[in-house]
Amino acid sequence: MRFFLFLALSLLLTACQSMKESAPDWWTSPQADSEQWIYGAGEGYNLSQATQQALANIAGKLKTEISASLSRRTQETNVAMDDYVDRQLKSSVATVSLSHYETLKTAVSGNNTLTLIRVDRAALAKEWSRQYDSISGDVRGLLSDKQDNPFQWWLKAKALIPVARTGDQLAVFWSGLMNQTKNSHLEDEINFAIAKRKPSVQLIGSQTTINQAIQSSLLDEGLRIGRCRTCDITIKYSTHFNTDTLFGQSVVNMIFAGTLTDRDGEVSSARWNLRASSASGASVGKKATLIMAVQKVKSEGLWKAFGMETN
């Protein structure tokens, strides 16, 4: 028995030593970063997976390096780091484009693929700056847009918020990488403009539960129903109920027809049917269809429920 245990242990040690010896030097002794290059090594079942791990390795280095750079500059200038910058650095959704990389080495070790890549710091900073300038230009164009249709401007502004957030993240990373200051508050600027240019809303509909659901959805968007002679957006709907009896139960069918209209005319329209049955009578079935309508508005979102194409 001891002989077999000794044999199994010997084979395991031999296999581990063999794997270690089969790994190339650039893998066992990672390349140190320089002023020009940032290196990353990755391992995976194929080259694509290994490359993604190597890029994640570089991204982690960049985040640590950039955070240290910004903290150091804060200490040198005795100026506290901007709260917005700090939020951007800590944000788990911050993504950085590392598409401009160079593959230096690849090897196969056992069942896995190994790779070594590098990223040029100057080229990366230039690419980030180019992307930021493009996003900043889009934001400036939006803020200077004085078009007569407030609802369409509001839709564009809401859609541009995540893009502006990406621009702010790029500015933070560029600042840390280049050890220079690029202040950017594009997202805050859009939100400030949206708060000042909210479209007025009119609601026309007779069902209290549906109206409450619509008002709740509008509040989530930062909008309120108000009194306006010429409203920027009109939300209008009608409901029609048909009742049949089937196997002793009341079957209620609700037909919902809704339209969204802005200053330029109809934006979208929707028509949908909801059906509910009840052994307690038509009134209970009607209430059930109204509850289903409320759930549809909440689950799909207000604009989609009224026929707008949404992302």
Model pLDDT for residues 163-204, shown as the tens digit of each residue:
999 898 888 888 878 878 888 999 999 999 999 999 999 999
pLDDT at 6 over 90: no
pLDDT of residue 247: 85
Closest CA to 43 of 35, 32, 51: 51
Number of separate helices (H) and strands (E) present in the chain: 10, 7
Closest CA to 173 of 209, 131, 222, 115: 131
pLDDT of residue 307: 96
Same domain, 252 and 233: yes
Same domain, 162 and 219: no
pLDDT of residue 85: 54
Of the three residues 196, 211, 231, the one that is the final residue of a domain is: 196
User: Considering the domain boundaries, does residue 102 fall inside one?
Assistant: yes
Q: Which helix (H) or strand (E) holds 95?
A: none
pLDDT at 253 over 60: yes
User: Considering the domain boundaries, does residue 39 fall inside one?
Assistant: yes
Model pLDDT for residues 211-251, shown as the tens digit of each residue:
999 999 999 999 999 888 889 999 999 999 999 988 889 99
Model pLDDT for residues 85-109, shown as the tens digit of each residue:
555 554 433 445 566 789 999 999 8
pLDDT at 119 over 80: yes
Same domain, 112 and 35: yes
pTM of this structure: 0.75
Same domain, 205 and 298: yes
pLDDT of residue 227: 83
DSSP 232: S
User: Considering the domain boundaries, does residue 283 fall inside one?
Assistant: yes
Q: What angle do CA 211, 217, 219 make, to 5 degrees?
A: 105
pLDDT of residue 67: 77
Which residues neighbour 107 within 8 Å (Cβ) at sequence distance 6 or greater? 23, 24, 27, 113, 114, 115
What is the domain-level CATH number for residue 108?
3.10.28.20
DSSP 115: E
Closest CA to 34 of 54, 61, 57: 61
Same domain, 102 and 182: no
Structure tokens at 18: 């063999």
Of the three residues 133, 162, 196, the one that is the final residue of a domain is: 196
Q: How far is CA 126 from the centre of its chain?
A: 24
Average pLDDT over residues 74-91: 54
User: Considering the domain boundaries, does residue 17 fall inside one?
Assistant: no
Q: What angle do CA 195, 146, 202 make, to 5 degrees?
A: 55
Same domain, 207 and 289: yes
Of the three residues 170, 196, 222, the one that is the final residue of a domain is: 196
Q: In terms of pLDDT, which residue wins out, 64 or 103?
A: 103
Same domain, 133 and 229: no
Structure tokens at 279: 């052994």
CB 291 within 8 A of CB 283: no
User: Considering the domain boundaries, does residue 19 fall inside one?
Assistant: no
From start to end of the chain, where are the E strands? 37-44, 102-109, 112-120, 201-204, 233-246, 249-262, 265-278
Secondary structure of 256-286 in HEC code, one letter for each residue: EEEEEEECCEEEEEEEEEEEEEECCCHHHHH
pLDDT at 4 over 50: no
Q: Which region among 75-79, 207-211, 226-230 has the lowest average model confidence (pLDDT)?
A: 75-79
Model pLDDT for residues 46-56, shown as the tens digit of each residue:
999 999 899 88
Model pLDDT for residues 136-164, shown as the tens digit of each residue:
999 999 999 987 899 999 999 999 999 99
Domain count, the chain: 3
What is the domain-level CATH number for residue 259?
3.30.160.150
Domain extent at residue 270? 201-305
Say how far apart CA 38 and CA 133 lie, in whole Å.
Answer: 24
Same domain, 214 and 152: no
Q: What angle do CA 135, 139, 141 make, to 5 degrees?
A: 115
pLDDT of residue 18: 47
Same domain, 91 and 186: no
pLDDT at 3 over 50: no
Same domain, 101 and 142: no
Same domain, 114 and 130: no
Model pLDDT for residues 269-278, shown as the tens digit of each residue:
999 999 999 9
Same domain, 288 and 213: yes
pLDDT of residue 229: 84
